[in-house]
């Protein structure tokens, strides 16, 4: 297990390759991005806009997938007020049992800011059963919901005849998921190959769900993309100050609400992420147990790159809070997918990375590595 020279990113994330100077892809991108001429990129975007043709009778220029969180709120406002375009916002909403009050308030905030929003929400029981299957098959309950989230935007773009989709960050650049690299930095049409989507919906059919009950989870095919001339553009490529803290600092002044719990409960340093439901925090803990890094690592990595904090403070924060998840989220999750907490932990431990973690005599999980050093 090796750490990035500049930040605290371990080399355990799938589809990522460190540079030979020992920099993780995100740091490499950050170093490279210092040389980017953002004005030139902005002009590329301005040149792109006139080519946007509205289908006859259609008055939207583009579609933006939103959860009501910091990234989407920032994007929506920037596209409307900076680029002068008229976006249709699309929100794939968790079922009533899972969506948080903060989440629905943030979507309401977007609507009351004058955006047109289509909110789609899949059948709650099917959603829960898929979550359960996803949890037991991938130890990641969100594999099915992520598929619905990623599919909802192109599905609606095709049905509403709005070919231009704005997406947030390019996973290939910002977080090192190289499989989604398109023709250039902002082409997002290979998003279908990102690791969250790569498993597709075949496993759902195999575990007994017939097609017409999982329609929201089916990502449109290449042919459907091409016949509707769909083009996904990563806005992250054009916005130089894109980041966790920055996006929140743009979104909060226009009404975004953030979490009030501290990192010891959420494993989220400032409570800026996963605003629309609680169980992603628990998922971060599972990710931590698989790969040895969680949400706090992501925060400190950003701040290490921008020099906002030094390495020792960062290591201390990661040591103290990374992978933390309050027991109340685990209880509510287990209640929702109807399993006992023992079953939960038994399953998690099966997916735990034995090289990085071990179970001590009292049954608790201890990490075997030292943050910033490795094993």
Partner 1 sequence: MPDITFCKRCLYSSVHPLGLTFDGDGICSGCRIHEEKDSLDWSSRWQKLESVVQPYRNRDGRNYDCIVPVTGSGDSYYIVYLVKQRLGLNPLLVTYNKYFNTPLGIRNLANLRIRFNCDILYQNINPNSVKKIIRGTLRRFGSIYWPILAGQTVFPVQTAVRYQVPLIIWGAHQGLEQVGMFSHEHEVEMTRRYRKDHDLMGAEADDLLSIFDTLTEEDIWQFRYPDDDELKSVGVRGIYLGNYVRWDPKAQHEQMMRDYDYRTAMFSRTFDRYDYVDCFNYMDVHDLLKLYKHGYSKVTDHATREIRFGRLTRDEGLALVRQHELAPLRFLDQFCEWLGVTPRSMQFLLDQHRNRRFWTKTEPAGWEFRGVSTMQDQRNSEASGRTGLPDIFKANDKLEYDRNSDYVTIGKGWP
Site residues for partner 1 per CB under 8 A: 57, 59, 86, 93, 95-97, 99-101, 103-104, 107-108, 111-112, 114-126, 159-160, 210-213, 215-216
CA pair distance 372, 1, nearest whole angstrom:
10
Name, in order, each residue with C-beta under 8 angstroms of 314's C-beta and a sequence gap of 6 or more: 7, 8, 300, 303, 304, 372
Closest approach of Cβ 99 to partner 1, in Å?
Answer: 6
Q: Which helix H or strand E contains 366, and what residues bound it?
A: strand 365-367
CA pair distance 210, 190, nearest whole angstrom:
27
Closest approach of Cβ 104 to partner 1, in Å?
Answer: 5
Nearer to partner 1, 100 or 207 (CB): 100
Closest approach of Cβ 19 to partner 1, in Å?
Answer: 44
Question: Cβ distance 368 to 356 under 8 Å?
Answer: yes
Pair of tokens at residue 69:
């969180």
CA pair distance 311, 251, nearest whole angstrom:
28
CA pair distance 359, 353, nearest whole angstrom:
11
Closest approach of Cβ 222 to partner 1, in Å?
Answer: 17
Nearer to partner 1, 1 or 85 (CB): 85
Nearer to partner 1, 122 or 236 (CB): 122
Closest approach of Cβ 236 to partner 1, in Å?
Answer: 26
Bridge partners of 164, per DSSP, are 231
Closest approach of Cβ 107 to partner 1, in Å?
Answer: 5
CA pair distance 38, 290, nearest whole angstrom:
36
Phi-psi region of 14 (alpha: psi -120 to 50; beta: other; left: phi over 0): beta
Pair of tokens at residue 347:
């399953």
């Amino acid at each position: 297990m090796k750490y990035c020279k500049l930040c605290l990113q371990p080399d355990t994330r799938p589809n990522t390759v460190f540079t030979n100077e020992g920099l993780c892809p995100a740091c490499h991108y950050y170093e490279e991005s210092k040389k980017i001429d953002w004005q030139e990129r902005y002009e590329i975007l301005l040149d792109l806009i006139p080519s946007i043709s509205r289908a006859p009778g259609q008055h939207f220029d583009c579609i933006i997938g939103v959860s009501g969180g910091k990234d989407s709120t920032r994007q929506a406002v920037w596209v409307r007020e900076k680029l002068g375009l008229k976006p249709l916002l699309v929100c794939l909403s968790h079922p009533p049992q899972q969506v948080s009050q903060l989440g629905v308030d943030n979507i309401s905030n977007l609507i009351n800011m004058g955006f047109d929003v289509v909110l789609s929400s899949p059948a709650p029981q099917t959603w829960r059963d898929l979550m359960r299957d996803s949890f037991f098959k991938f130890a990641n309950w969100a594999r099915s919901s992520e598929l619905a989230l990623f599919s909802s935007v192109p599905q609606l773009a095709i049905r509403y005849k709005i070919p231009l989709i704005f997406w947030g960050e390019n996973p290939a650049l910002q977080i090192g998921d190289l499989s989604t690299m398109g023709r250039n930095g902002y082409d997002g049409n290979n998003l279908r190959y990102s690791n969250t989507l790569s498993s597709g919906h075949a496993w759902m059919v195999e575990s007994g769900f017939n097609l017409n009950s999982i329609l929201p989870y089916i990502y449109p095919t290449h042919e459907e993309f091409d016949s509707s001339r769909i083009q996904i553009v990563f806005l992250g490529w054009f916005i130089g100050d894109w980041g966790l803290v920055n996006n929140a600092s743009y979104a909060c002044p226009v009404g975004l609400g953030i979490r009030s719990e501290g990192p010891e409960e959420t494993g989220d340093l400032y409570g800026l992420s996963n605003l629309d439901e609680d169980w992603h925090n628990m998922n971060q803990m599972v990710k931590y147990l698989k790969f040895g890094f969680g949400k706090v690592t992501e925060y400190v990595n950003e701040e290490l790159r921008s020099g906002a904090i030094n390495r020792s403070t960062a290591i201390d924060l990661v040591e103290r809070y990374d992978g933390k998840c309050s027991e109340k989220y685990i209880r509510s999750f287990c209640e929702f997918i109807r399993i006992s907490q023992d079953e939960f932990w038994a399953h998690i431990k099966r997916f735990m990375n034995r090289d990085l973690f071990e179970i001590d005599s009292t049954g608790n999980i201890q990490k075997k590595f030292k943050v910033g050093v490795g094993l």
